[in-house]
A = this chain, B = another copy of it.
């Protein structure tokens, strides 16, 4: 089952999955941030984090393209190791993805190295999450 989930995850990352994250994530999915201790619960908040993270990490830094360099799949869990570049800094990380029997993602955990990478991604994601909130407020008042 995890093989199928990861195949769909790659289609999502390529912008080719009909239904997108709404199809992939379980309603009670939990997101574990590389920065913040507190688990983020539920499909809506997890979608927000994953969209911000995808844009931050794959966001067209001229220094490097987001690439999965290794995959380790067993049981209900996949570990996908990635490399990218954000604001000129090398970023190496893992997505640890666990799925349920229905093929929905129930847990999404991200870790990164080195320390400088986490700091730069933290800043970049903060800007994007704040901008997302502003866009939401703007469209709500327009």
Contacts and interface: CB of A to CB of B under 8 A. Distances in A.
Interface of A: 32-37, 70, 72-75, 77-79, 81, 90, 92-94, 96, 109-116, 118-119, 122
Each complex incorporates copies of this chain amounting to 2
A121 to B, nearest CB: 10
- Please classify the interface of chain A as helix (H, G, I), strand (E, B), loop, or mixed, using the class held by over half of its residues: strand
B34 A114 contact: yes
B90 A111 contact: no
A73 B118 CA distance: 26
Contact of A115 (B32, B35, B90, B94): B35
Contacts of A77: 70, 72
Nearest to A112: B111
